[in-house]
Structure 1
Amino acid sequence: MLSETPSIQAFIDALPKVELHVHLVGSASVPTVLELARRHPGGPVPLDERELRAFYEFRDFPHFAEVYESVSSLVRDPEDVATLVLGTARDLAAQNVRYVELTVTPYTHQRAGMPMPAITEALDLAAGEARDRHGVRVAYIFDIPGEFGAEGTRGTLDHALAHPPQALVGFGLAGIEQVRAPHRDTFRDAFRAARAAGLRSLPHGGEMSGPETIWEVIEGLGAERVGHGISCLDDPRLVAHLRETQLPLEVCPTSNVCTGQVATLEAHPLPRMLDEGLFVTLNSDDPPMFDTTLTGEYRVAADVFGLDRAALAGLARNAVTASCLDQGARQEIIAEIDAL
């Protein structure tokens, strides 16, 4: 599958897209962060745009963690939450993204002192405004920050069950995968309750740990998609299972390189995952902090992985198919993809 002509870039720009794996705080671009920093001055985030852009330039994972924490510190009230959602919708609209499942970690906002109903109201209002103002349909995934164990799990589940946003579609698990084992039963119980309430199981797995984490989210959490999943190739039995079940994998190439999970884009396993017949979707994770966009990920797929128009359109269709959109909305976007 070789890249055809320079016009493939125009094809990528025109391609209707769906984003399944992007985090609310991690999606905050410079204009959005500048708005928050000026609203809450006196913190570590520069108020000058040029200085902020320099601060935002990716250097290494510790610096990414510093930037992420600094941006998180600016999210102090429900208005800030809404600002993040609307900024993300604005940035996605410029990339021809029609629908996004935005991962929100409500426990971090609860710890900042925000009441659950107020967070939910902000998310609801922002989703409506995102569609009206930017033409982007926003859905939400509430994810457990795994390193907070039982406390973070309880706060996330309570919010999802007692005060769910209207557009809440999924329940996730993120954070450092290596610290999950002591909380396995807690996570399993929470996902069982979330699924019983009608939420889809959408946890991370196999990003920074081996195939055993993917097996656990499949068998223990009932995963209907797997965030990242790139270590699956280390287990032939898992590869066979994923190929047979066509369980969608949310792959984020630039993120995997920036966090040190893969040495270079050229070494990324996505092409091999496709060759193995796995169900792959392309995503951006924390795009501004990794100096990427969803459009940029498609360009990587073309320029680095050598995917042609048909393969790129296939990835776009996969994202639509794996989404929580209703069948009619899926068919509408797929028809637009097929018309290119």
Structure 2
Amino acid sequence: MIMTEMLEILRHIPKVELHCHLECAVQFTTLLDEHRRQGIPLPFTAEADLREYFLIEEPVDDFQRYLLAIERHQVIFGDVSAISRVAEETVISKAADNVKLFELRYSPTYMSRQTKGRLSQSTIHEAVKAGVTRGVAAALNNNQDIHVFLICCDHVIFKHSPWDADGFKDSVNFALHHRADFVGFDVACTEADMNPCSPFLDRLKDAGLGITVHAESDMEPEKIRFLVDRLHATRVGHGLHVPEDSAIFAYLKDKRIHMEEAPTANVRSGEVENLQNHPIQRYIQGGFSVSINSDDPGILDHTLTDEYHVLHHTFGYDMATFLKINLLALHSSFAAEDVKQKLLDLYFVRNLKTSVS
């Protein structure tokens, strides 16, 4: 079977995505168009040079190069219409990938700080919501059903700016003030001392928000126990070194912690040597609840269907494996139970019966 045929088969799989950053979801053509529209000078004229400047299409030797690409994408977010446009286009692209439940995360605090306060968190948030609404409507007009839920990130993404207590508190308060708009909260800057954050996470949990945490490549596995015990995390992003510690591995499995995995992002950022060594296979073989995610699709110029194709090619995942992973992701979503049951009945039960038969 040729690659294009397999891509189409994989694209038609009903999907659930739980880990995708809006700030890193700008499509390449949109990035260039917004530079021109906003009068922001482009560093090169040739497309090949621009792709090398803005995108990470091959593994990097230095994680700072990955962070630099993220920084270069943020410059367009000083414009409200650009924020709304990116949110809309992200939803439309996910619907085209047959994503049925999509959790989109972003940091209103981080984005506001990037504009030095010129755009308030509330202004940014309203722009994101408007874009999501338009994206869902556009998808429906194209006979594509997608349900989108927002996760509020703390004030740091990918160690891109320094952690501070006031910024974290500001992010928590914003999420609580807009509780009706968010289903969860993402603790992204977990390399800092998180002890002072515990009371704030208590408030988030009491408000009914789901909590997920980033566990990057340089995090000691033992610290993840603290994030689960003290910060109420029920999902962990990446967890790249967890399988190296059998005690933590067993602990997270016993706690039924869901692992949000993004293999291509981890390889291209240089955090994992290659796809064959990515821990997603260890998690699946170990009986964990796992989801497949694009993480930073704009930075990587990589769709969720592309990610499925990578895993199919690398590990031989078949339709039954992908169905099981999506069922686990659906169960672990922070969306309301009635919504998850509706999507289960509409899009997954039929495929489950076909898989079993």
TM-score, length-scaled by structure 2: 0.85
CA distance in 2, matches of 1:49, 1:36: 15
CA distance in 2, matches of 1:332, 1:196: 26
CA distance in 2, matches of 1:166, 1:46: 43
Contact 1:130 1:137 in 2 (8 A): no
Contact 2:253 2:288 in 1 (8 A): yes
Write out aligned runs for 1:132-171 (5 A): 132-135=137-140, 136-144=146-154, 145=156, 147-162=162-177, 164=178, 166-171=180-185
Matched residue, 1:252: 262
Contact 2:104 2:151 in 1 (8 A): yes
Matched residue, 2:90: 88
Report the CA distance shift for 1:39/1:47 in structure 2 as closer, same or farther (over 3 A): farther
Matched residue, 2:187: 173
Q: Which moved more, 1:301-310 or 1:164-173?
A: 164-173
Q: How far is 1:326 from its partner?
A: 2.5
Q: Which secondary structure does the structure 2 equivalent of 1:202 belong to?
A: strand
Aligned partner of 1:63 among 54, 65, 89: 65
Q: 1:191 aligned to 2:179?
A: no
Matched residue, 2:234: 224
Contact 1:34 1:47 in 2 (8 A): no
The aligned amino acid for 1:167 is D
CA distance in 2, matches of 1:45, 1:160: 37
Report the CA distance shift for 1:137/1:32 in structure 2 as closer, same or farther (over 3 A): farther
CA distance in 2, matches of 1:334, 1:45: 47
Deviations 1:6-31 (A, max 9, x none): 96544321111111001011111113
Contact 1:127 1:137 in 2 (8 A): no
Deviations 1:80-117 (A, max 9, x none): 22122112112212211122111111112221121232
Write out aligned runs for 1:207-286 (5 A): 207-286=217-296
Over the aligned positions, Cα root-mean-square deviation in angstroms equals 2.4
Q: Which secondary structure does the structure 1 equivalent of 2:241 belong to?
A: helix
Q: How far is 1:148 from its partner?
A: 2.0
Matched residue, 1:97: 99
Residues matched between the structures, number: 332
The aligned amino acid for 2:51 is R
| Unmatched 5+ stretches in structure 1 | none
Q: 1:319 aligned to 2:329?
A: yes
Report the CA distance shift for 1:107/1:302 in structure 2 as closer, same or farther (over 3 A): same
CA distance in 1, matches of 2:217, 2:233: 15
Q: Which secondary structure does the structure 2 equivalent of 1:21 belong to?
A: coil
Contact 2:311 2:317 in 1 (8 A): yes
| Unmatched 5+ stretches in structure 2 | 141-145, 352-357
Contact 1:201 1:224 in 2 (8 A): yes
Q: How far is 1:196 from its partner?
A: 2.1
Deviations 1:254-274 (A, max 9, x none): 111112221000111211211
Write out aligned runs for 1:32-51 (5 A): 32-44=30-42, 51=49
CA distance in 2, matches of 1:105, 1:48: 32
Contact 1:103 1:143 in 2 (8 A): yes
Q: How far is 1:32 from its partner?
A: 2.4
Matched residue, 2:135: 130
Contact 1:16 1:333 in 2 (8 A): no
CA distance in 2, matches of 1:6, 1:52: 26
Q: Which secondary structure does the structure 2 equivalent of 1:22 belong to?
A: coil
CA distance in 2, matches of 1:41, 1:139: 32
The aligned amino acid for 1:126 is G
Report the CA distance shift for 1:143/1:57 in structure 2 as closer, same or farther (over 3 A): closer
Q: How far is 1:154 from its partner?
A: 2.1
Q: How far is 1:206 from its partner?
A: 4.6
TM-score, length-scaled by structure 1: 0.89
CA distance in 1, matches of 2:4, 2:112: 48
Contact 2:34 2:82 in 1 (8 A): yes
The aligned amino acid for 2:26 is A
The aligned amino acid for 1:224 is T
Contact 2:13 2:98 in 1 (8 A): yes
The aligned amino acid for 1:29 is Q
CA distance in 1, matches of 2:182, 2:46: 35
